[in-house]
Amino acid sequence: MNAVLKTESSEPTPEDCNRSIGIVETRYYTFAEPPGTITLESGETLGPVTLAYETYGTLNREKSNAILVLHALSGDAHAAGLLREEEAPGWWDAMIGPGKPFDTGQYFVICSNVIGGCKGSTGPSSENPQSGKPYGTEFPFVTIADMVHAQRHLIDFLGIDRLLCVAGGSMGGMQALQWVASYPERVRSAIPIAAALKHSPQQIAFNEVSRQSIMADPAWRDGNYYETGQPERGLSVARMIGHITFMSDQSMEEKFSRKLKKDHFNFNFDADFEVEGYLRYRGANFVKRFDANSYLYITKAMDYFDLSGGKLINGRAVDTRFLVISFKSDWLYPSHQSQEIVRQLKLKQVDATYCELKSTYGHDAFLVELEGQTTLIHHFLEKTYLGPRNGNRNGNHR
C-alpha cells in the first residue's frame, strides 16, 4: 500500500528482517507497440503499454520458482530492496529477501506496477501517443482483469509458463484472485491477503468520497492538470480518508489516543491532536509521489472488480492451491469477505488454507503484522514448491 507508512510503523520482525536484498533496479517492458494495442474490458484499446517491474532472486532452469507479487492501491513495482535514488526499502521488504517468506535464495520474485498507475507503468499521467500530451481523463478505464492481462504479457516475456505463486494484499489480493479466474492453468498457488471477491457498498462509498474529494479540487481541471500542478488538496484529503480506513479503532487509540501536539488547545483550526497532524503529514507526503488521476482510475478499477457468484473458479478444473489470510481488526476488508472466498473454494473443492490472524493494526496489518504471515506463507510456499499437493508424502525431492 505505501512504503512511507511502513518505515514508520513496522515493528521489529523475525530475525531475517534486516537481511535486505540490497540495491535493486526498476526495469521497463513495453508491448502492444504500434500498430498493436491491447483491448481492455471496457472494449477500448490501449497501446503501447509499458510495465515497470522489478525482479529479485534467480529464475531456475525449469522456470518453476517464479512468484508474482501484486501491489495495493498506491503501491508500485518496488517491492523489496533499495533503489539508488530512494531511502525507503520496497513496500514488502519485510517479506521478500534472503531467508524471508518470499525467499529470494529460493524463489524468483517479480513485482510490476499496475496499468493505470503512476510509478512507471502506462497510466493517465503517461504520454498519449495521439496527442503527445499526458492522457489525463482520455486514459481508458482499466479493470483488475486488465491489470492482470498486462502482467500476463510480462510473464510471457520473462518466459514463465506457470507461476509458483501469485500473492498480494488488498488490491494485490484482488489481482491474485483475478489471476486464478483468468489464467488458472498458469498459477500453482495464490495468496490473497485482506482481500475480497468484490467491493461492498461501504468500500465503494469510501472510494467515491476519495474521488469526489479529488474532483472537487479546482486544481483537478477535469484531469488536465499536468502543466498547472496536481490537485494536492483533494488528493491529500483522499489519502487521509484512506489512512483512517487502513487503521483500526484500537491501533489509532494506541498510536494517538487524544494526545496533543502541544500541551494546550490552540483554539483554532490548526492540528491540535496528533491524529490530525498525522493525517495531514500523510496527505502532504502522498501528493508528492502519487498522481491524482491514477488514484481515480485505480479506485474505480477496485470498485468494478467482482468475482462473486462462481466467477473465481469458472468451470475449468483448478488445481491452484490457496492460502487466504485476513485480519481480525480489518474493518475495511473484513474477514467475512475472505471467508466468502474460502466458501467459493470449498464449493469447487479447491485446495484451501484459511486463517484469520489476530492483529490490531486493521487493514494495514498485511504490511506490518508479520509474524503470522511469515509462518504461514513460508511453509505454504515451501510445500507448494517442494512437495506434491496437499501434504501428501514428504516433499524431499528438491
Can you say how many angstroms the Cα of residue 280 is from the centroid of all Cα atoms in its chain? 23
Residue from 71, 149, 199, 363 carrying the catalytic annotation: 363
How near is the Cβ of 336 to other proteins at its closest, in Å? 12
Q: Compute the distance between CA of residue 256 and CA of residue 296 in angstroms, rounded to an integer.
A: 29
How near is the Cβ of 194 to other proteins at its closest, in Å? 15
Toward other proteins, which CB reaches closer, 136 or 334? 334
Report the relative pairing of strands 352-357 and 66-70 from DSSP bridges: unpaired
Toward other proteins, which CB reaches closer, 39 or 375? 375
- Say whether 363 is catalytic: yes
Residues 51/158, Cβ–Cβ less than 8 Å = no
**Segment contacting other proteins by CB under 8 A, of 52-60, 229-237, 263-271, 383-391:** 383-391
- For residue 205, the one-letter residue type is A
Please, which of residues 338-377 interact with other proteins by CB under 8 A? 342-344, 346-347, 349, 351-358, 372, 375-376
Residues 354/384, Cβ–Cβ less than 8 Å = no
14 binds other proteins (CB under 8 A): no
**Segment contacting other proteins by CB under 8 A, of 19-27, 47-55, 273-281, 381-389:** 381-389
Name which position in 264, 393, 397, 398 contacts other proteins (CB under 8 A): 393
Other beta carbons within 10 angstroms of residue 113's beta carbon come to: 27
Toward other proteins, which CB reaches closer, 128 or 339? 339
How near is the Cβ of 380 to other proteins at its closest, in Å? 6
How near is the Cβ of 21 to other proteins at its closest, in Å? 25
380 binds other proteins (CB under 8 A): yes
Toward other proteins, which CB reaches closer, 285 or 360? 360
Q: Which of 104, 204, 98, 112 is nearest to 158 (CA)?
A: 112
383 binds other proteins (CB under 8 A): yes
Contacts of 2 (CB under 8 A, 6+ apart): 74, 75, 91, 286
Toward other proteins, which CB reaches closer, 38 or 355? 355
Residues 3/91, Cβ–Cβ less than 8 Å = yes
Toward other proteins, which CB reaches closer, 229 or 391? 391
385 binds other proteins (CB under 8 A): no
Cell for 258? 487524544
Residues 191/166, Cβ–Cβ less than 8 Å = yes
How near is the Cβ of 394 to other proteins at its closest, in Å? 7
Residue from 217, 330, 338, 359 carrying the catalytic annotation: 330
- Say whether 243 is catalytic: no
394 binds other proteins (CB under 8 A): yes
Q: Which of 182, 183, 189, 149 is nearest to 168 (CA)?
A: 189
How near is the Cβ of 370 to other proteins at its closest, in Å? 14
Taking CB under 8 A as the rule, which mask of x and - marks residues 75-114 in contact with other proteins?
Answer: ----------------------------------------
How near is the Cβ of 346 to other proteins at its closest, in Å? 4
Toward other proteins, which CB reaches closer, 55 or 384? 384
Residue from 74, 125, 170, 236 carrying the catalytic annotation: 170
Other beta carbons within 10 angstroms of residue 347's beta carbon come to: 11
Which segments of the chain are extended strands (E)? Answer: 27-31, 38-39, 45-46, 49-56, 66-70, 96-97, 102-103, 108-112, 165-169, 189-193, 321-327, 352-357
Contacts of 25 (CB under 8 A, 6+ apart): 54, 83
- Say whether 330 is catalytic: yes
- For 270-317, the DSSP string reads S--BHHHHHHHHHHHHHHHH--HHHHHHHHHHHHH-B-TTTTSS-SS-
Q: Any idea what DSSP says for residue 127?
A: B
What residues line the site for other proteins (CB under 8 A)? Answer: 321, 323, 342-344, 346-347, 349, 351-358, 372, 375-376, 379-380, 382-383, 387, 389-395
Residues classed as catalytic: 170, 330, 363
